Each structure stands twice: as C-alpha cells, then as structure tokens.
Amino acid sequence: MFLITAVLVLAAGTLYFFNSPKSEKAAIATNFEDVRNFISTCLKDTAEEGIYFISLQGGYYNAPEDSLPFVFIRIPYYWHLGNGKMPEKETIEIELSKFIEDAVQLCANNFTAFRQIGYDVEYENLAVISKITEKNVLVEAKFPVKINSKAGSREFNDFNSIIDININEKYGYAKQIIEEQKKDANTIPLGFLAELAYDSNFTFEYIYMGDGDVIYSLIFNESLGNTLIYAFAAKYDWGNATLSQPISIKEITEFNLTEPKVINYKVDAFGENLTFYDYTDLFDINPKTGQMNFDAFDVSNGNYNILIKIVDGNGNEAFTIMRISINYNNKLPVIEPIGNLTAFVGQEFSYKVKASDPTNKYP
C-alpha cells in the first residue's frame, strides 16, 4: 500500500534528521551572523519536517489516545462510530509548535560545533508559535541566544520563517469529507471523495484495517518532488462485516509521451454489468467495453490526471486515475520566413503563408 511505503520513507528521513544534526554545517562559522543563520536554518528545516510528520498523523505531533496504531505512528480518528472527532486548526498549530520546539533543540545540538571553534554560547528555552494561514505556515520563535568570543558578544532573540506548504488546503479537504460522512454514518463516502480528489488535483487511498477501522490517505505532490500525505482514520459500526469491493480495477500504468501518438487502451475491470464513464474532454471512453482511442497529437505539453468511474448493475461505484504525461520536444508547425512585402492603398493584397508539419503527420 502507498501509505506503508510513504511511512517507511518518512521514517528513514526523520531518523536521519534527528541523528545527523544540521549543526555540523556550523563548523566553518567565522562570525556571529553565522550563528543566527544557523538557527534560522534549523527553524525552517524543522518546521518543514514537522508539517510532513503531523500531516501523516492527522495534524498531531503527539497523537491522542483515541487513534489507530499503524506501523510506528498513530493515526487519529476523525470519525468514530457516528461522531466527528476532527481537531480544530488551532490544535494543529499547537502540535506543530511542539514538534518544532523539540526538533530545533536537537538540531542545535547544544551549539557544540560553535563551541569547538571558540564560541561560548548561552541560551534559554525556545518558544514557538505556528500560524496556519490561507496559503502557507508562519513560524515565529523566541529563542534568547547569547554568543561570547574574544571579539566580543552578540545576542539574538527573535526568529521567524515562512513555509510554503498549504496545510490549510489539506485540512479543508479532510473537513469536507467528514461533513459528507455525517450524511451516512456507516458508509464510506467514496463517490464524494473521488470527485473531490479529481476536482482538487490530489489522489487518495483507503485501507481497511478490520473491525470497522479504515485509514484514509490524501496524497499531494509538493515542490521538489516531495509527497505529502494527510492521513486520518474512521471507525464504522459494521459488526463482523467485511469491506466488500464488488468492482475491481487493474491499475493503469502511466503514459509518458515524448512524441505524438495514438493511445489505444482498454480499462481492465471486473464486476457485473459494468458501465464506464470518463471525466475529460480529451477522449470518450466506450461505456460498455472501457476501450478508449486517444489521439494525443493536438494536446499541449503537461500532466493529465483523468478520472475514470465504473458503475455495476447494482449501483456500486469504483474509481481509478489514468495519468498521461506529455512532453513533446517540438510539434509546432514550421512557418517559412516572410520577407518584406509591399501593399498599396485601394488595391487588394493577398499572400499565402507557407508552413509545414514537423511530424509529417499531415501534408
């Protein structure tokens, strides 16, 4: 499952973060300003680490008792036997601040690297305030630090950082899902979740853990290829029932096009009396067979995530994503140079522009 892999990757990254303090970067420090820059770097890096970690734990650094154990983390219940338990945004801000306070102390490592080059560093307890804004996260830190050396002394106190990760958006999606869940306490809101993911350009997975427990993972591609997972759990009153999936879909391999071609593909799905639907203007899927023929010649470069819905004869729904990445080096028509032309007032002017197709698809 995606979540398991991501958890393990994040775990490895977190262990590296805590066991390899960034204070080693300070070994070449030669002035007081290097200490300030070092602390600012610690603050920014730990804030980013914290956002990724608490997102994986549904907004918590220290998950509440009412949460579901999963690998080395705990995922909080946002929905528990008919009751919403989603944290307020202010709670998430406090949890992030706690993470940063602990992590910055580890990152600073008692300023050992600076002490080794002759600095005497005195510091007091760190206090962090995190604020989730509409588009990013603001982090303010009170960290009284005094540096003494043969050249004199310097004091720092206030530090701040802006983290360009929109956790407010992710929180908002989770809140919409829980609001939809209130309409039917014991049914996974799969249709709503799939359409929300498609409209908002993220992907999702859910894992049935048994005993009515389901883990939801909202998956986002952030900058520099990083993947952020916002996870939360739900507990349903299903008794001894298992989670049935009357429709199964074979995963669609991503299409990576570097030159124009026609994609002929049939969605492989298994179930009774299936009907196929597509949510795109790029092609029309055959509603009975799931076959599509997609001429990608006139499509612009970019990444396309296409939602496919399948409905069986009993009204059950299933969804999958077809990913198409188009990166043509050059498919624009080539226009022959036009020299200087002369036109006269009162006389009709005409000129035939000459162009050719570099792909030789059209004459």
Q: Are residues 175 and 306 in the same domain?
A: no
Q: Going by C-beta distance under 8 Å and a sequence separation of 6 or more, which residues neighbour residue 165?
A: 48, 51, 136, 137, 222, 228
pLDDT value, residue 69 = 92
Q: Are residues 71 and 114 in the same domain?
A: yes
pLDDT value, residue 254 = 87
Considering the chain, what is the average pLDDT of its residues? Answer: 84
Q: Are residues 302 and 219 in the same domain?
A: no
* pLDDT > 70? residue 46: yes
Using 50, 70 and 90 to split pLDDT, how confident is the model at 259?
confident
Lowest-pLDDT range of 8-22, 125-139, 170-184, 209-223:
8-22
Domain with residue 252: its CATH number is 2.60.40.10
pLDDT value, residue 199 = 93
Contact between 23 and 38 under an 8 Å Cβ cutoff? The reply is yes
341 found inside a domain: no
pLDDT value, residue 353 = 77
Using 50, 70 and 90 to split pLDDT, how confident is the model at 349?
confident
14 found inside a domain: yes
User: What average pLDDT does range 81-107 have in this prediction?
Assistant: 95
315 found inside a domain: yes
User: What average pLDDT does range 71-98 have in this prediction?
Assistant: 95
Distance separating alpha carbons of residues 218 and 56, to the nearest angstrom: 10
Last residue of a domain, one of 234, 254, 273: 234
Q: Are residues 156 and 250 in the same domain?
A: no
Q: Are residues 132 and 11 in the same domain?
A: yes
pLDDT > 90 in the chain, percent: 48
338 found inside a domain: no
pLDDT value, residue 16 = 32
pLDDT value, residue 29 = 41
pLDDT value, residue 356 = 60
* pLDDT > 90? residue 336: no
pLDDT value, residue 201 = 92
User: What average pLDDT does range 160-172 have in this prediction?
Assistant: 96
Instruction: Give the range of the structural domain holding residue 287, as residue numbers without chain letter.
Output: 244-326
* pLDDT > 90? residue 327: no
**CA distances to 12, 78, 169, 286 from 231, in Å:** 18, 10, 14, 35
Last residue of a domain, one of 215, 234, 253: 234
342 found inside a domain: no
* pLDDT > 50? residue 103: yes
Contact between 170 and 220 under an 8 Å Cβ cutoff? The reply is yes
Last residue of a domain, one of 181, 216, 234: 234
Comparing C-alpha atoms, which of 124, 95, 128, 127 is closest to residue 111? 124
The 3-state DSSP class for residue 80 equals: strand
Comparing C-alpha atoms, which of 241, 251, 247 is closest to residue 187? 241
Q: Which residues of 127-146 are buried (b: 16+ CB within 10 A; e: fewer)?
A: ebebebeeeebebebebebe
* pLDDT > 50? residue 283: yes
Q: Are residues 174 and 308 in the same domain?
A: no
Q: Are residues 158 and 298 in the same domain?
A: no
SS3 helix, strand, coil % of the chain, rounded to 5?
30, 35, 35
Q: Are residues 313 and 187 in the same domain?
A: no
Q: Are residues 217 and 320 in the same domain?
A: no
Lowest-pLDDT range of 37-46, 173-182, 250-259:
250-259
